Amino acid sequence: MKLLMISNSTNAGEEYLKYPIQEIGHFLEGVKEVAFVPYAAVTFSYAQYEAKVQARFDEIGVRVHSVHRAKDPARMIREAEAICVGGGNTFVLAKKMQEQGLMSAILRKVKAGTPYVGWSAGSNVCCPTICTTNDMPIVEPSSFKAIGAVKFQINPHYLDANPEGHAGETREQRILEYIQANPRRYVVGLREGCMLLYEDGHLELKGNRPMRIFKKGIPTFEVKAGDDLSFLL
């Protein structure tokens, strides 16, 4: 499999997809067209999302074709040269993907070696479930099951602390609840500006910030770029 799972699309003060585009270009080297899944969009149209991604992908010479334009989106995935899934609301994304049979179609494709790029919600759906998303469940998917391309859960946009004056649970407390209820599953707290590259059976953290690792029965710890992540596989 070839997977590029990105925490966030945009770093503060930067343009959309600016920081990861070189890595995406390297990952998609030789690819001319991608099938794009825009279904995490809520407050803007799928066509607007497609155009926004295309504007950045122009820099790497890749054409973006959104599955919302296809009569048979699952077939478009089956025939895709590469697949990209954008961020937004994970529950909205999962619901639409389930309705169109895209979860299983994507899993078959990535197992066959088709490159997959996802950011934020697009990284969430690479996991076994969407249970470690940060998003509000504004719609109800048929289940929390996702693509399952990797065995671990991702928490994108991972934050270490709550804003000053906020008395609610921290992100870490919420993840600790998850691993209490799901003791066999690893969760990775993927900080902004970072991504996970899976290629040739090797998982690599890319970015200048460490990644936080959670699993029931193991003290929480951090890994940095270059560390061995084979335990997640």
Residue 4's H or E segment, with its range, is strand 2-6
Type of residue at 15? E
Pull the structure tokens for residue 96. 């639409």
- HSE toward the beta carbon, residue 93, CA cutoff 13 A: 30
Neighbours of 218 (CB within 10 A): 11
Average pLDDT over residues 44-69: 98
* Strands across the sheet containing 63-66: 63-66, 33-37, 83-85, 116-119, 2-6, 195-199, 202-206
Tell me whether residue 123 is one of the annotated catalytic residues. Answer: no
Helical packing angle, 90-99 and 102-111, nearest 10°: 90
The pTM assigned to this predicted structure is 0.96
Contact present, 183 and 216 (Cβ < 8 Å): yes
CATH, residue 167: 3.40.50.880
Residue 117 confidence (pLDDT) above 80:
yes
Tell me whether residue 227 is one of the annotated catalytic residues. Answer: no
Tell me whether residue 9 is one of the annotated catalytic residues. Answer: no
pLDDT at residue 55 in the model: 98
Count of structural domains within the chain: 1
Residue 160 confidence (pLDDT) above 90:
no
Average pLDDT over residues 69-92: 98
Residue 123 confidence (pLDDT) above 80:
yes
Catalytic residue among 7, 9, 120, 123: 120
Range of the domain at 159: 2-232
Average pLDDT over residues 114-140: 98
pLDDT at residue 168 in the model: 80
Which of the four pLDDT bands, split at 50, 70 and 90, describes residue 162? confident
Catalytic residue among 66, 68, 123, 135: 135
pLDDT at residue 167 in the model: 75
pLDDT at residue 166 in the model: 76
pLDDT at residue 64 in the model: 98
